[in-house]
Structure 1
Amino acid sequence: MPDDSSTPAPLEGGCLCGRTRYALHTAQREGYFCHCRMCQLAFGNLFAPWVNVAAGELRWTGETPQWYRSSKIAERAFCPRCGTPLAFRFLDGDRVDLSIGSLDHPEQIAPVEHFAVESRVQRWFEPQGLTQTRLDTFAPIAERWQKNYGDAPPGVDTARRS
Structure 2
Amino acid sequence: MGGEEVTIPFYTGGCQCGAVRFHVEGALGDASVCHCRMCQKASGNFYLPLVSVSGAKLTWTRGAPKRFRSSNHGYRGFCAECGTPLTYEAPDGVALTIAAFDDPAEIAPRIQWGIEAKLPYVDTIRDLPGEDTMADQGAAAFLADLVSYQHPDHDTDEWPPERAS
Q: What is the TM-score with the length of structure 1 in the denominator? A: 0.83
* C-alpha distance in structure 1 between counterparts of 2:127 and 2:71, whole Å: 39
* C-alpha distance in structure 1 between counterparts of 2:110 and 2:128, whole Å: 25
Unaligned runs of 5+ in 1: none
* C-alpha distance in structure 2 between counterparts of 1:113 and 1:13, whole Å: 22
* C-alpha distance in structure 2 between counterparts of 1:29 and 1:54, whole Å: 7
Distance 1:112 1:82, change over 3 A: same
Partner of residue 24, structure 1: 24
For the 8 Å contact 1:55–1:96, the answer to whether it is kept is: no
For the 8 Å contact 2:29–2:55, the answer to whether it is kept is: no
Partner of residue 115, structure 1: 113
1:7-86 paired onto structure 2 within 5 Å: 7-8=8-9, 10-28=10-28, 30-54=30-54, 57-86=57-86
How far did residue 29 of structure 1 move?
6.4
For the 8 Å contact 2:29–2:52, the answer to whether it is kept is: no
How far did residue 139 of structure 1 move?
3.1
Partner of residue 104, structure 1: 102
For the 8 Å contact 2:15–2:82, the answer to whether it is kept is: yes
- Percentage of matched positions with identical amino acids: 31
Tell me which protein shows more helix as a share of its residues: 1
Secondary structure at the counterpart of residue 157 of structure 1: coil
* C-alpha distance in structure 1 between counterparts of 2:112 and 2:144, whole Å: 39
* C-alpha distance in structure 2 between counterparts of 1:76 and 1:37, whole Å: 14
Distance 1:128 1:83, change over 3 A: closer
Distance 1:34 1:69, change over 3 A: same
Secondary structure at the counterpart of residue 111 of structure 1: coil
Partner of residue 156, structure 2: none
Unaligned runs of 5+ in 2: 154-159
* C-alpha distance in structure 2 between counterparts of 1:127 and 1:148, whole Å: 27
For the 8 Å contact 2:28–2:55, the answer to whether it is kept is: no
Q: Aligned pair count?
A: 154
Moved over 4 A (4+): none
User: Quick one: which amino acid aligns to residue 65 of structure 2?
Assistant: P
Q: What is the TM-score with the length of structure 2 in the denominator? A: 0.82
**Two-structure CA RMSD over aligned residues (Å):** 2.5
